[in-house]
């Protein structure tokens, strides 16, 4: 693509508004910036769109949002499902409400009714709303936990999960086949008059909350201890504030302290550089408030409230950070053990995790005699399994999670749900308090029962065109040059998900992995250690996930530190 030619087109075509042209005129002497904005179109991938806000084909703006929506509309019309409508939600980021209206009015211009949330809502509620309203699709305007200069556009299909085959490819093909000038728009007043634009809110909020309340296993413990447990919570300037506080209040948790500096929605995320509950800085204000109130647990949801970060206090008053693997394992043990105790487990019960998630739950599944299913990274693949269970009548979903701080309890949504996770973790705190245990005690019990598995992640950020090329080069190296050992541990099996092969490095035997092809490399090493490498699907990063098993927590931490050094050394050599 001739980026200079495309730049000139945007500058001179009367189709583009004056604000866009003014922004582009300001970079006329910056060749590098022009190239970055126009060297390629912002790719509509399997997760939709995500990119830096700004003018240009490689940026998030009204024109790119409208083009994506026109492609989606074309696919819906070809599927003969336009009568079902599409529901649209958005988060607190810059331009989110504007992008939501652009999408809604493009749908309306195509004769497809748009149900638009009246104000910002969490991702899991959008997932719930798709099926609640009987829509063919859902759109969520969010860039999740990305820095403030980003926004995004996620597409959900009628099952409530993000798009998977064949719909993802079908929609992507439609988007690629058109230009930004092909996108239709209808004036808002006309769309409302034609009943093609409808605001929604309270009814769906109430229905969503009702579904969450059905998932409580030990209300009696909340009734007894809910008034004593102290909870500090931060929505990190995002969508979680109202729903998280509402469900805790309705269940009976009386001492919920919200970080005041991070309570209100703000797309600039002024108190953090990166609104990510995985980052330690996201908890600085919350931990200070926790120490002030002697809180039992500290919770943070990301801007679209699909991921939950957690700190828990032990009996000595020290706060411990739970990684996504730890909190997911803790919640899995609580939910599955209590389902078994209360009503027994179904014979076809299943626990689902992604390939980069802790192997601790493999042991858990064995202990409970339930099926352990591994899927590719991306919660939509867990949602896909839930749909498969429903359509075939084979399999009962018990719990699913990813290492990236996301899990789902129940099947009301088909995406990660930090609101239900917040509810369940606070309920678990009440239950374990009835046993004179803290959540940290419960976490240590999980380790004692299933082994001291410890996982970490190293991430390299490589921006721009050169960054993409470097990431590709690193992945090619990993696929074509399997190391014999990493950190002194022999590589036993090398899995290349790009060509669906698992090679036994001892015998040379090659077998299929059995999952869809994906740009991922996975090494199984001796001693139960492992390393998985994949590019991020949403950011200019390459990620190195790894795990070890120790005799105890200290041993696991020592092994993890040593293995982590070896991983960093390996990345530097590439």
Catalytic residues: 144
Q: Which tokens go with 127?
A: 């997932």
Give the number of other Cβ atoms within 10 Å of residue 247's Cβ.
20
Three-state DSSP string of 217-235: CCHHHHHHHCCCCEEEEEC
* Alpha carbons 5 and 7: distance in angstroms, whole number: 5
Residue 329 DSSP label: H
Residues 6+ apart with CB under 8 A from 8: none
**How many helices and strands (H and E) does the chain possess?**
19, 23
Sign of the CA dihedral running 212, 214, 216, 222: positive
Q: Which tokens go with 238?
A: 């995002």
Of the candidates 278, 311, 542, 538, the residue with the CA atom closest to the CA atom of residue 438: 311
* Alpha carbons 2 and 16: distance in angstroms, whole number: 19
* Alpha carbons 309 and 282: distance in angstroms, whole number: 9
Question: Residue 14, SS3?
Answer: coil
* Alpha carbons 574 and 562: distance in angstroms, whole number: 19
The per-residue DSSP string of 402-450 comes to ETTTEEE-SSS-SS--HHHHHHHHHHHHHHHHHTT--HHHHHHHHHHHH
* Alpha carbons 180 and 167: distance in angstroms, whole number: 21
Residue-level length of the chain: 574
Radius of gyration of the chain (CA): 24
* Alpha carbons 373 and 56: distance in angstroms, whole number: 41
Question: Residue 505, SS3?
Answer: coil
Q: Which tokens go with 256?
A: 């919920």
Q: Indicate the angle between helix axes 241-251 and 418-434, nearest 10 degrees.
A: 30
Neighbour-count burial for 411-441, b at 16+ CB within 10 Å, e otherwise: bbbbbbbbbbbbbbbbbbbbbbbeeebbbbe
Strands 452-461 and 541-550: antiparallel
Give the number of other Cβ atoms within 10 Å of residue 212's Cβ.
25
């Amino acid at each position: 693509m001739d980026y200079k030619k495309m730049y000139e087109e945007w500058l001179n075509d009367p189709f583009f508004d004056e604000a866009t042209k003014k922004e582009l005129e300001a970079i006329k002497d910056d060749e590098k910036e022009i190239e970055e904005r126009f060297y390629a179109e912002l790719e509509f991938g399997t997760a939709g769109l995500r990119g830096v806000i700004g003018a240009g084909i490689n940026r998030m703006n009204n024109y790119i949002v409208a083009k994506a929506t026109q492609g989606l509309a074309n696919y819906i019309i070809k599927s003969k499902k336009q009568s079902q409508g599409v529901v649209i939600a958005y988060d607190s980021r810059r331009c989110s409400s504007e992008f939501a209206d652009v999408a809604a009015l493009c749908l309306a211009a195509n004769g497809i009714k748009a149900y638009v949330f009246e104000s910002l809502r969490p991702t899991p509620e959008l997932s719930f709303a798709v099926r609640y309203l009987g829509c063919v699709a859902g759109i969520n305007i969010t860039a999740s936990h990305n820095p403030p200069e980003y926004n995004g556009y996620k597409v959900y299909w009628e099952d409530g999960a993000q798009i998977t085959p064949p719909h993802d490819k079908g929609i992507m093909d439609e988007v690629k086949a058109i230009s930004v000038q092909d996108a239709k728009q209808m004036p808002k007043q006309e769309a409302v008059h034609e009943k093609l634009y409808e605001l929604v809110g309270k009814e769906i909020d109430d229905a969503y909350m009702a579904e969450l309340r059905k998932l409580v296993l030990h209300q009696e413990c909340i009734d007894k201890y809910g008034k004593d447990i102290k909870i500090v919570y931060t929505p990190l300037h995002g969508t979680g504030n109202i729903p998280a506080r509402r469900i805790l209040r309705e269940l009976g948790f009386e001492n919920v302290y919200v970080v005041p500096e991070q309570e209100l929605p703000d797309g600039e995320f002024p108190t953090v550089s990166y609104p990510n509950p995985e980052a330690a800085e996201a908890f600085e204000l919350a931990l200070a408030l926790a120490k002030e109130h002697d809180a039992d647990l500290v919770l943070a949801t990301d801007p679209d409230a699909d991921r939950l970060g957690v700190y828990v206090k032990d009996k000595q008053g020290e706060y411990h950070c739970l990684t996504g693997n730890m909190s997911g394992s803790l919640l899995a043990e609580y939910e599955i053990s209590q389902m078994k105790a209360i009503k027994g487990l179904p014979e076809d019960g299943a626990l689902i995790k992604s390939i980069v998630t802790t192997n601790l739950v493999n042991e858990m599944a064995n202990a409970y005699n339930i099926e352990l299913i591994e899927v590719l990274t991306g919660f939509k693949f867990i949602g896909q399994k839930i749909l498969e269970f429903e359509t075939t009548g084979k399999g009962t979903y018990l719990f699913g999670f990813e290492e990236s701080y996301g899990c789902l309890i129940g099947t009301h949504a088909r995406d990660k749900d930090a609101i239900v996770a917040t509810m369940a973790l606070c309920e678990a705190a009440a239950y374990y308090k009835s046993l004179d245990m803290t959540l940290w005690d419960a976490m240590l019990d999980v380790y004692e029962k299933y082994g001291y598995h410890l996982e970490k992640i190293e991430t390299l950020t490589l921006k721009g065109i050169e960054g993409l090329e470097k990431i590709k080069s690193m992945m090619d190296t990993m696929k074509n040059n399997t190391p014999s050992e990493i950190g002194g541990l022999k590589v036993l099996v090398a899995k290349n998900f790009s060509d669906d092969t698992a090679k036994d490095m001892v015998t040379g035997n090659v077998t299929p992995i059995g999952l869809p092809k994906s740009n991922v490399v996975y090494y199984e090493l001796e001693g139960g250690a492992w390393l998985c490498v994949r590019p991020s699907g949403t950011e200019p990063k390459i990620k190195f996930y790894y795990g070890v098993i120790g005799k105890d927590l200290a041993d696991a931490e020592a092994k993890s530190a040593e293995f982590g050094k070896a991983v960093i050394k390996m990345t530097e050599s590439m």
